[in-house]
């Protein structure tokens, strides 16, 4: 069975853990040469490090209760703390909790006994934030945070749905993708293009896409660049077929200057660089045609400068 069909079959089996499925998808990403897909699968499999952006579907609301002690032995137990107050005292990240744990951990949490609809976590780091701010004459002794079990189930369902949608779209786009198997000696079909795989991944997994049409090759090009985010600009250029070295150089030039006007996103340094480097699209060093390369760079810069 092909890797793609094996993944689809596993997804449709009720009660199957996502961990092994993501390992197969990680192997498929390596076979297809898609760095964005490989990186997403790695983060879902191993967890998101602190320097990695967490997808919106992994940000869930958190609620808190706290215990307080006061004068003459008085106490307030399990007092609910309003989300507005938590946000004011501790910041938004405590209200909108980023679930960075691996999908295997999410599976394990959902498999725990369902004593309640909540998953509890220690939030004693908030004690100092609450001291004298919730009840002026009471000392905060402990803080407990809780997350909805349903929110964790939603994370799992979202990952499953996106993996299935991705495999379906890959199957539609590449008829020969069924020939990609676990066999390391098998040759990748020539009809499968890594840049297109990455574009499909960006659209389905990450969203935030802008569609444009290249008149030259009559192909749809999806642009995913966050305004003023050099990392997303560089990653998009790489996923579109530009070499990492050239993508980094172009990104640094774009960050060092401003566009000429609202319709012309290329400053003098970028224009000069393109004159010297567009020949790489013709020679095949960049995995995109000349006209497509020009459109991709222009549209990416429009997004980067927040002009579109």
- Give the Cβ contact number of residue 265 at 10 Å: 22
What are 64-76's pLDDT values in tens digits?
Answer: 999 999 998 899 9
In a domain, 193, yes or no: no
Q: Shortest CA distance to 18 belongs to which of 168, 203, 161?
A: 161
What are 218-235's pLDDT values in tens digits?
Answer: 344 557 788 899 999 998
Helix (H, G, I), strand (E, B) or coil at 118: strand
pLDDT of 290 strictly over 80: no
Separation of alpha carbons 256 and 247, rounded Å: 14
In a domain, 115, yes or no: yes
**DSSP at 57:** G
In a domain, 233, yes or no: yes
Host domain of residue 73? 1-185
- Predicted TM-score (pTM) of the model is 0.63
In a domain, 203, yes or no: no
In a domain, 201, yes or no: no
Q: Domain check: are 23 and 137 in the same one?
A: yes
DSSP per residue, 152-221: HHHHHHHHHHHHHHHHHHHHHH-GGGGG--S-TTSPPPTT--HHHHHHHHIIIII---EEEEETTTTEEE
pLDDT band at 282 (very low <50, low <70, confident <90, very high): low
Q: Nearest 5°: phi and psi at 66?
A: -140, 155
In a domain, 142, yes or no: yes
Q: What is the dihedral of CA 210, 297, 36, 27, to 10 degrees?
A: 120
Q: Domain check: are 144 and 82 in the same one?
A: yes
């Amino acid at each position: 069975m092909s890797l793609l069909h094996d993944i689809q079959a596993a997804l449709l089996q009720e009660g199957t853990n996502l961990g092994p499925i993501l390992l197969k998808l990680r192997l498929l990403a390596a076979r297809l040469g898609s760095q964005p897909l490989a990186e997403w699968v790695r983060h879902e499999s191993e967890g998101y490090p602190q320097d990695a952006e967490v997808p919106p579907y992994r940000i869930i609301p958190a609620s808190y209760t706290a215990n307080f002690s006061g004068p003459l032995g008085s106490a307030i137990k399990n007092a609910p703390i309003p989300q507005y107050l938590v946000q004011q005292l501790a910041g938004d990240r405590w209200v909108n909790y980023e679930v960075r744990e691996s999908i295997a951990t999410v599976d394990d949490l959902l498999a725990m006994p369902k004593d309640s609809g909540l998953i509890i976590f220690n939030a004693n780091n908030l004690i100092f934030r609450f001291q004298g701010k919730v009840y002026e004459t009471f000392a905060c002794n402990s803080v407990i945070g809780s997350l909805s079990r349903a929110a964790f189930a939603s994370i799992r369902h979202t990952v499953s749905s996106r993996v299935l949608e991705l495999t379906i779209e890959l199957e539609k786009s590449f008829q020969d993708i069924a020939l990609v198997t676990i066999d390391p000696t098998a040759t990748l079909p020539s009809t499968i293009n890594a840049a297109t795989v990455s574009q499909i991944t960006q659209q389905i997994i990450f969203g935030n896409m802008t569609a444009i049409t290249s008149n030259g090759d009559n192909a749809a090009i999806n642009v995913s660049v966050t305004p003023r985010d050099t990392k997303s600009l560089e990653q998009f250029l790489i996923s579109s077929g530009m070499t990492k070295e050239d993508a980094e150089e172009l990104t640094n030039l774009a960050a060092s200057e401003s566009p000429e006007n609202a319709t012309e996103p290329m400053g003098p340094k970028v224009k000069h660089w393109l004159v010297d480097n567009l020949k790489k699209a013709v020679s095949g060093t960049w995995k995109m045609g000349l006209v497509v390369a020009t459109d991709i760079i222009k549209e990416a810069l429009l997004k980067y400068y927040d002009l579109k």
